[in-house]
Structure 1
């Protein structure tokens, strides 16, 4: 084993098969970290992604998480129940396991946060110290989660939380862009908007959030033990900017824009658990909200930002919503002609 390999720091990414976890794993590897991850079927996932040191285990098992975190200096807590399901049963035990592992290893925790912590009374302008009075079950769980991290920080565990808007981007998984605005795996026929007309909404391009988290980790010596930041991301001031970017990306300036069928969701919610969960979050689309990134700018100087049209195009391409580029006959590379 070379001296360089020995000297490289190791990070544990919980949720490495998810959107932000996968993006952070790639960022960490690109910055010289050895990346370790936990998976319930480590052998199978390692065959598909051998660049990560996959360890067998479950984020719901404290013993598994503590064992896998041995020797790491950073734990990325990016594990969440799929969709909106099972938050009450899974979210807090998982963060407790991560805190226990961080204490045992002497590692810093970095975690993506959300706007769920806030109720409408704190809108439209949010900073890191805005009152957290959530009106949803998931919001109350997010507040409790951050409270546990803040308490852990008083006991010596270093913590970075980066709150962001609704994710979109390659690998983002289940999100409003992929499940609401467009239909994955098919050419875009229309854009469906969940928000009320004229209501601003905050989005977050996944690679930009991961880069922001990475830059904060690299400046960790300047941060307090419990450091919490807001990203501005993509603020859609009138609720139409992403729709217009989608129109440009697909080359259809008159692509239909439709409203999300909230009425149908409400009617079906007694029979479809997922619809009940979605309906609970509707308030985030009914009033404008915008997170201030002033604190972040004080540390980083600038927030990583991909131009909107490029971000939307890359997102649509990753969802299979754009035709694959065709190379003109006679212009194939030599290796392709052989």
Structure 2
């Protein structure tokens, strides 16, 4: 009698967030059993009943160890609630993940960012570029990767996928949803933080998730500490994202307004978050391109959703289309 192959189990930390949720859904599509740790597991289970929800907190080592029993993979996509207290919460949560991965013999996957790089690494950002971050979050991101590299040298497999600014359905804390557009109503204008002529990297969350999962499926052939860059959507001159939004909403003359950096500057005197945003301004002033040759060498090609389809799905998820708008603007829904 043939024995059925054991289904693999993944623990997703941050499964109610944008990237964590996208990876969790993708793993389910790929046949994984997905477990998730949540401080309100009963509520989360009502929204996503196909996931095995475990009550607990990523800040509790005991909770993470319990949730990670028997898993093959831990996806570390958790952030402090409201992105507050990074300096005191982020690294302890990562240490819990590393301890749980060692105990379970599991691999760790981390969604990486470009925040751990300063402008000295631009305009062509490779995987091995020097990390000289300019912000507190960037310094923490750098330290996260250093600790994961140390864990890989101690026997824990690690995969890091770095990508540009996220956008996509279910992703609320990003530049697209908090700066470019106003969620909850049809668009009347676009606010753009960059300037014409400056290239900028974007990454569609479902594509990032699919990339991570395909790498996990080839994990046995990867190095213990495997880092890859995604190309995602490269806005080559600072106008292509704007033009794509205009196409999708069928408003070729949709106004584009300059992002109010002056207001961020004033608010940064009182609000730590705005100080961080102001410090990140170089990401919009310096051209950036992320080559993906290393990734393509492993996967053959990078998962990629056409930009109009990606934007339409994102805007729909943000509530930027209403029924009347969709019924009267077929261009906006043709990319479903």
Does the aligned pair in 2 maintain the 1:84–1:277 contact within 8 Å? no
Residue 147 of structure 1 aligns with which residue?
A: 146
Structure 2 residue aligned with 1:332: none
**Residue aligning to 1:321:** 320
Match of 1:247 in 2: 246
Q: Deviations over 1:155-175 (max 9, x none)?
A: 000000000100001011211
Structure 2, unmatched stretches of 5+, are 329-336
Question: What do the CA deviations read for 1:209-261 (whole angstroms, capped 9, x no partner)?
Answer: 00100110111111011100000101101111111011111111011011100
User: 2:172–2:178: 8 Å Cα contact kept in structure 1?
Assistant: no
Is residue 2:296 matched to residue 1:297? yes
Residue 115 in structure 1 maps to residue 88 in structure 2: no
Displacement after TM superposition at 1:43 (Å): 1.5
Q: Find the aligned partners of 2:24 and 2:134 in 1 and give their Cα distance.
A: 33
SS in structure 1 opposite 2:71?
A: coil
**What does the per-residue CA deviation read over 1:70-102, in whole Å, with 9 as the maximum and x for residues that have no partner?**
000000111112454221111111110000000
Equivalent residues in 2 for 1:72-111, closer than 5 Å = 72-111=71-110
Separation in structure 2 between the aligned mates of residue 46 and residue 307 of structure 1, nearest angstrom: 32
Q: TM-score, normalised by structure 2?
A: 0.94
Quote the RMSD (CA, aligned, Å): 1.4
Contact 1:115 1:164 in 2 (8 A): yes
Distance, in Å, in 2 between the alignment partners of 1:175 and 1:58 is: 24
Counterpart Cα distance in 2 of 1:100 and 1:156: 12
The alpha carbon displacement at 1:274 in A equals: 2.5
1:267 is displaced (CA, Å) by: 1.2
1:34-56 residue CA offsets vs partner (Å, 9 max, x unmatched): 11000011122212221111001
TM-score, normalised on structure 1?
0.93
Divergent runs of 4+, >4 A:
none
Within 2, Cα distance between the matches of 1:135 and 1:265?
17
User: How far apart in 1 are the matches of 2:95 and 2:304?
Assistant: 32
Alpha-carbon distance in structure 2 between the residues aligned to 1:269 and 1:166: 21
Shift of 1:271: 2.3
Give the length in aligned residue pairs: 324
**Structure 1: which 5+ residue stretches go unaligned?**
328-338
Secondary structure in 1 matching 2:53: strand
